[in-house]
Amino acid sequence: MTTQTTAADTPNPQQNHTPTGLIPIPEGPARALATGGGILTIISTFMAWTWTSAFPGDLTVYGYPGGLQVLVLIAGILTTLLSLASYGIKGIRTLTPGGADAALKYASLAAFATTWYTIISISYQLGGLANLDPGGWVAAIATLASFTGALALPFERPHTYAVDTEDTGSEQFKHRARNALTIFKGAFAAEAPPTPRKLPDYVEILVIIAALAVGLIVFTYGIGTEYDELFIGFLVTVAFSFAALSKAGLVAQVSTYTARHRNITLAGAFAAAAAFPFTQSDDQYATIGVYILIFATVALGLNIVVGLAGLLDLGYVAFLGVGAYAASMVSGSPSSPFDVHLPFWGAILVGASASLIFGVLIGAPTLRLRGDYLAIVTLGFGEIFRLVAMNSDGTSGPDITNGSNGISSIPNLKILGFDFGLEHTIFGVTIGRFANYFFLMLLITFVVVLVFRRSENSRIGRAWVAIREDETAALAMGINGFRVKLIAFALGATLAGLAGTVQAHVTYTVTPEQYQFANTVPPNSAFLLAAVVLGGMGTISGPLVGAALLYLIPSKLSFLGDYQLFAFGLALVLLMRFRPEGLIPNRRRQLEFHEADLAPGDTPPPTVLSKTGA
């Protein structure tokens, strides 16, 4: 039996692999154009972009960047530094261990996209390009020149495929489009994998502290954006700037340092998070912060089930609801059918224990299923919980949950005389109600992280990974698959119940509508699963970052109205297309998704070896 090979499946023998750019400009002028454009971009941010302050941010001031100009200034500085590094200047070149040219393309794209978005917004809102001042025109030309110069930088073109002239027009178009996409992706690929540099321990710790400080500043700035145009510009700038730093090798460098100093990184991350309420002048954004922590803690619990054990749970939010309902019923609410008012430690034990019991009861009969069948059963459990809570109103069923009205008027927590519902002054800063709960939730998140970390590195954690990778092989090696999966299910449910206890007191009211499979307000099962996959399955920081993004972005995109979920879903599709392993993946999953990009000396993980037939 012979296999017919078409021209479209054969590398083009006449292809010229001499490094060239996407735009036919010599390398020297291209680098000069990118550098000059970056410098001119910086200068333009100190000029007025429009004559009226009607556009938010007040871009009418000379000598003082405001609003979106600040984002363009940051992107311009990054573009200039990377363009200087591309010349091989000693000292600056060390900032780009993975190469400067690909990083320069992303940095210039960040400046270009943010600038032109600002100009288009000014023209749309104010009624035409006539509302632009010289600074706006200078910024538009400078960013276009910088991006053009970056695209003209030479790169090693990947193999393309010859187009068969006997194919139909649609087939020829498909092959030409595939070749164009391959070349375009090659233009933005890093020149070489970064080589981590070993520095003195104190220097690496200082780098970690600096990275955490930058992360706190970026998060604080993003959560405090005052108008829609600024938040969209913030997303564009951060996305492309992060890609630039990643291609430059700095992200991998910092990741190497954090892996060497995990305890210091963990302590520093929680210290940076604890500093967040002190950066706020009121309780407005602390509200978002505490909900992000609740969402992130539940996502981390789901990460045990999905990321470590490989069990697809589509009804996980029900365990959050079980914990919230159980805690609210024993916290002194007048809507509770039980006349009980336990202290905080009692309520949190009741909430966590109730979720644990439900986890065992649901997991025991269902965990003998695998894959899609398990997912369907867990989805059914999530809906059953919501419907039971809805109908337990004394009319359609027993009077337990007060039906659709839920358990309301849940009193604030008090721990050792500290009332979380009152304002307190700490270090001269007034901390409001939501900031109090933020600190409590941060402590609970810290406990959950410790539990996840200890579980991951334990014998049971290695058994979970074995089950996830190949359950049949794990069973053949003597692992009790049912018991191991049940432990993961029960532990994940307990952690969700722990977060649900605090959620009940933060929201004052617990209703069935809060625990659906999918709605526009997280947390829900769909968003929780997306947070784990988006952030990076099997890691600690991945679901925390993913949950923060998935909660913050929809809350800031509310101005899109009916198109909010469309824009959000489109962003997720693009992210999963270009970074399927997640934002912060573990090394195994990264190698699985990028087997073709393995560096010399890298060994594929066992799952990759099995795919290649080795």
pLDDT, tens only, 377-420 = 888 888 888 888 888 877 777 778 888 888 888 888 888 777 78
This model's pTM is above 0.75: yes
Over residues 562-604, the pLDDT tens digits come to 676 777 777 778 777 777 777 777 666 665 555 555 444 544 4
- The two structure tokens encoding residue 195: 């080589």
Whether residue 406 is found in the same domain as residue 331: yes
Whether residue 242 is found in the same domain as residue 314: no
The residue from 232, 254, 276 where one domain ends is: 254
Helix 101-126 to helix 228-248 angle, to the nearest 10 degrees? 170
Over residues 31-46, the pLDDT tens digits come to 999 999 999 999 999 9
* Long-range residue pairs from 271-279, CB within 8 A, at least 24 positions apart, any chain: 271/212, 272/212, 272/213, 272/215, 272/216, 273/216, 273/442, 274/439, 274/442, 275/216, 276/216, 276/219, 276/220, 276/438, 277/429, 277/431, 277/435, 277/438, 277/439, 278/426, 278/427, 278/429, 279/216, 279/220
- pLDDT of 235 > 70? The answer is yes
Whether residue 512 is found in the same domain as residue 603: no
Assess if residue 286 is contained within a domain: no
Task: Quote the number of domains for the chain.
Answer: 3
The residue from 508, 524, 540 where one domain ends is: 524
- Distances in Å between the alpha carbon of 27 and those of 32, 152, 190? 9, 7, 17
The residue from 524, 543, 566 where one domain ends is: 524
Pairing of strands 429-431, 424-426: antiparallel
Whether residue 129 is found in the same domain as residue 250: yes
Which amino acid does the sequence have at 498?
L
Report the pLDDT value the prediction gives residue 70, as an integer from 0 to 100.
Answer: 93
> For 355-380, what is the mean pLDDT?
86
Name which of 99, 97, 104 is nearest 83 in CA terms. Answer: 104
Residues paired with residue 407 on neighbouring β-strands, in sequence order: 510
Whether residue 227 is found in the same domain as residue 342: no
- The two structure tokens encoding residue 29: 């002028």
- Could you give the CA distance from residue 179 to residue 186 in angstroms, rounded to a whole number? 11
- pLDDT of 197 > 90? The answer is no
Contacts of 44 by beta carbon, 8 Å cutoff, 6+ apart: 72, 76, 135, 136, 138, 139, 142
Buried residues in 358-376 as b, exposed as e (16+ CB within 10 A): bbeebbeebbeeeeeebbe
Over residues 54-90, the pLDDT tens digits come to 888 889 888 889 889 999 999 999 999 999 988 877 7
Assess if residue 538 is contained within a domain: no
Whether residue 226 is found in the same domain as residue 357: no
Over residues 250-307, the pLDDT tens digits come to 888 888 888 888 888 888 888 888 888 887 777 777 888 888 888 888 888 888 888 8
Assess if residue 421 is contained within a domain: yes
312 neighbors 369 (Cβ within 8 angstroms):
no
Assess if residue 8 is contained within a domain: no
Over residues 398-410, the pLDDT tens digits come to 778 888 888 888 8
Residues paired with residue 94 on neighbouring β-strands, in sequence order: none
- Could you give the CA distance from residue 372 to residue 558 in angstroms, rounded to a whole number? 33
Whether residue 248 is found in the same domain as residue 314: no
Report the pLDDT value the prediction gives residue 41, as an integer from 0 to 100.
Answer: 95
Quote the domain boundaries for residue 597: 588-614
Assess if residue 202 is contained within a domain: yes
- Dihedral, CA of residue 126, residue 129, residue 134 and residue 136, to nearest 10: 70
Whether residue 35 is found in the same domain as residue 105: yes
Contacts of 91 by beta carbon, 8 Å cutoff, 6+ apart: none
- Could you give the CA distance from residue 466 to residue 458 in angstroms, rounded to a whole number? 13
Whether residue 249 is found in the same domain as residue 317: no
- The two structure tokens encoding residue 59: 């871009």
Assess if residue 282 is contained within a domain: no
Assess if residue 287 is contained within a domain: no
- pLDDT of 138 > 60? The answer is yes
Whether residue 249 is found in the same domain as residue 318: no
Whether residue 97 is found in the same domain as residue 235: yes
DSSP 444-474: HHHHHHHHHHHHHTSHHHHHHHHHHH-HHHH
Name which of 408, 411, 418, 409 is nearest 440 in CA terms. Answer: 418
Residues paired with residue 345 on neighbouring β-strands, in sequence order: none
Assess if residue 13 is contained within a domain: no
- Distances in Å between the alpha carbon of 177 and those of 160, 186, 352, 577? 11, 14, 54, 17
- Distances in Å between the alpha carbon of 49 and those of 52, 58, 129, 140? 9, 9, 11, 10
* Distance spanning both ends of the chain, measured CA to CA: 25
- Residue 496 phi/psi, 5-degree rounding, is -65, -40
Whether residue 96 is found in the same domain as residue 183: yes
